[in-house]
């Protein structure tokens, strides 16, 4: 369907160009009964060059992209397409003369010099307009592709965000917290109330972050401290989180729940006791990374693969905001280096 429309359009342009040149020379509209042969050749020239122009533009597009080489693409495209146009017109004119006229090409050009000049001007302006149309279509396609890609990335990011949030809102997490509250109520009602407030604080942060791509590191740290309180009730002196972050660093941003996922997995994968406590250090290094470090204690509580899922989620979310990779050192200590993301 598209090819048929293109042929009809090019045929109309070819017939219109011949009509213009014929009228310019003779002052008369061509008669299809007597001028059918040159009209047919004009239509053939328009179609041959039209399809050649499309093919050549595809080649130019691969060699010189509009986005990177706009000026060179426009100028060279215009020049090379003009050369191709002159070659097609000359070849078809030569064929026409060989079949239907006794005149040589130089003689024909000298007899129709005004028409040749007009044809050259028409060709130049036609190519100029075609180049602009080609760039317009390219710009539209780039915009459309960019919009689709943006929506796709947004959806992927929201899915990753949802997976991170779903883990924290799991019934298992709530069940453990409710069990702790139940055991505290009889022993220390005031402490149980504090625990409930910290639990509400963590859930409030989780719910507030569900549609946010980034939060300030300060807010994430406040959330982790509330989460740390819940862990402290459960593990006592068997675990400790140390923060060493400047006020300036706290103004940077981070995907929500990043630190919490790392802390939760450190707790899951280490058997800690008061004799061998788990210490997690969160600090800034000179290379512009936030380090989350913990000693490795023998006796993992869960399969290591579960940690890789959480870490993979963090890595994928970070890719939306920075080209710097997350680095992992797994030696006598487990260190995750998170690149800084400046606040917008």
Tens-digit pLDDT profile for residues 112-141: 777 778 877 877 777 777 777 777 777 777
DSSP symbol at 66 = T
Which sign, positive or negative, has the C-alpha torsion 283, 287, 289, 295? negative
Q: Is 63 exposed, middle or buried (0-12, 13-18, 19+ CB in 10 A)?
A: exposed
Residue 169 predicted with pLDDT over 60: no
How many structural domains is the chain composed of?
2
Q: Are residues 266 and 317 in the same domain?
A: yes
pLDDT of residue 168: 56
Q: Are residues 62 and 116 in the same domain?
A: yes
Shared domain for 208 and 59, answered yes or no, is no
- Of the pLDDT bands very low, low, confident and very high (cuts 50, 70, 90), residue 252 is very high
Residue 240 or 309, more confident: 240
pLDDT at 106: 75
| Distance (Å, whole) CA 162 – CA 83 | 57
27 bridge partner residues: none
108 in the same domain as 218: no
Please compute the mean of the pLDDT values over residues 158-183 and round it to a whole number: 66
141 and 63, same structural domain?
A: yes
Q: What pLDDT shows up at residue 291?
A: 92
Q: Cα 195 from chain centroid?
A: 43
Does a structural domain hold residue 303?
yes
pLDDT at 218: 93
Task: Looking at mean pLDDT, say which of 190-204, 239-253, 259-273 comes out highest.
Answer: 239-253
Where residue 143 falls among pLDDT bands split at 50, 70, 90? Answer: low
Does 75 score more than 70 pLDDT? yes
- Within this chain, do residues 248 and 206 fall inside the same structural domain, yes or no? yes
Looking at 122, 151, 180, the residue that finishes a domain is 151
The answer to whether residues 174 and 303 belong to one domain is yes
Q: Residue 211 falls within a domain, yes or no?
A: yes
Q: What are phi and psi of 85, to 5 degrees?
A: -65, -45
Instruction: Tell whether 131 and 173 lie within a shared domain.
Output: no
Q: Do the domain assignments include residue 157?
A: no
The whole-number pLDDT of residue 301 equals 47
- Quick check: 267 pLDDT over 90? no
Residue 223 located in a structural domain: yes
Backbone angles phi, psi at 131, to 5 degrees: -65, -40
How much is the mean pLDDT over the chain? 79
306-339 tens-digit pLDDT: 556 678 888 888 888 888 888 888 888 889 999 9
- Predicted confidence band at 172 (pLDDT cuts at 50, 70, 90)? low
Using DSSP's 3-state secondary structure scheme, residue 216 falls into strand
Question: For 270-303, how does the pLDDT look when each residue is reduced to its tens digit (9 = 90+)?
Answer: 888 888 888 999 999 877 899 999 987 765 544 4
Examine residue 156 and state whether it is found in any structural domain, yes or no: no
Binned at pLDDT 50, 70 and 90, residue 2 comes out as low
Distances (CA, A) of 115 to 79, 123, 311, 327: 21, 12, 72, 70
Domain end, chosen from 120, 151, 182, is at 151
Q: What pLDDT is recorded for position 302?
A: 46
Q: How confident is the model at residue 243 (pLDDT cuts 50, 70, 90)?
A: very high
Q: Are residues 27 and 144 in the same domain?
A: yes
CATH number at residue 307: 3.30.565
Q: Which residue has the higher pLDDT, 132 or 3?
A: 132
Per cent of the chain over pLDDT 90 is: 8
Confidence check: pLDDT of 151 > 70: no
Domain of residue 119 covers 2-151
Of 81, 116, 151, the position where a domain reaches its end is 151
pLDDT digits (tens, 9 = 90+) for 18-39: 787 777 777 778 777 777 888 8
Q: Helices 36-63 and 2-26 sit at what angle, rounded to 10 degrees? A: 120
Residue 212 domain-assigned (yes or no): yes
Do 173 and 144 fall into the same domain? Answer: no
Does residue 93 sit in the same domain as residue 145? yes
Judgement on whether residues 221 and 269 belong to the same structural domain of the protein = yes
Q: Please check whether residue 7 lies inside any domain of the structure.
A: yes
- Residue 344 belongs to some domain of the structure: no
pLDDT tens profile 85-114: 888 888 888 888 878 777 777 777 777 777
């Amino acid at each position: 369907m598209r090819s048929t429309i293109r042929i009809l359009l090019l045929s109309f342009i070819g017939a219109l160009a011949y009509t213009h040149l014929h009228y310019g020379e003779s002052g008369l509209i061509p008669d299809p009964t007597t001028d059918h042969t040159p009209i047919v050749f004009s239509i053939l020239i328009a179609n041959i060059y039209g399809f050649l122009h499309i093919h050549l533009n595809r080649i130019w597009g691969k060699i010189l992209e509009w986005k990177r080489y706009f000026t060179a693409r426009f100028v060279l495209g215009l020049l090379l397409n003009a050369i191709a146009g002159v070659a097609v017109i000359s070849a078809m004119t030569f064929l026409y003369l060989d079949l239907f006229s006794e005149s040589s090409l130089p003689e024909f050009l000298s007899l129709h010099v005004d028409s040749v000049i007009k044809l050259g001007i028409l060709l130049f302006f036609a190519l100029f307009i075609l180049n602009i149309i080609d760039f317009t279509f390219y710009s539209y396609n780039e915009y459309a592709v960019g919009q689709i890609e943006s929506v796709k990335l947004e959806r992927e990011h929201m899915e990753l965000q949802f997976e991170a949030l779903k883990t924290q809102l799991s019934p298992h997490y709530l069940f453990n917290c409710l069990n702790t509250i139940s055991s505290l109520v009889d022993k220390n009602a005031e402490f149980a109330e504090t625990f409930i407030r910290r639990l509400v604080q963590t859930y409030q942060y989780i719910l507030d972050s569900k549609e946010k791509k980034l939060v300030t590191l300060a807010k994430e740290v406040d959330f982790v401290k509330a989460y740390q309180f819940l862990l402290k009730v459960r593990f006592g002196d068997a675990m400790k989180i140390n923060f060493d972050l400047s006020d300036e660093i706290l103004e940077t941003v981070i995907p929500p729940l990043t630190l919490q996922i790392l802390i939760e997995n450190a707790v899951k994968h280490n058997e800690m006791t008061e004799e061998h406590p788990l210490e997690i250090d969160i600090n800034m290094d000179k290379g512009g990374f936030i380090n989350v470090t913990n000693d490795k204690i023998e006796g993992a509580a869960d399969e290591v693969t579960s940690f890789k899922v959480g870490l993979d989620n963090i890595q994928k979310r970070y890719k939306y905001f920075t080209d710097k990779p997350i680095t992992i050192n797994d030696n006598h200590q487990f260190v995750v280096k998170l690149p800084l993301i400046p606040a917008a």
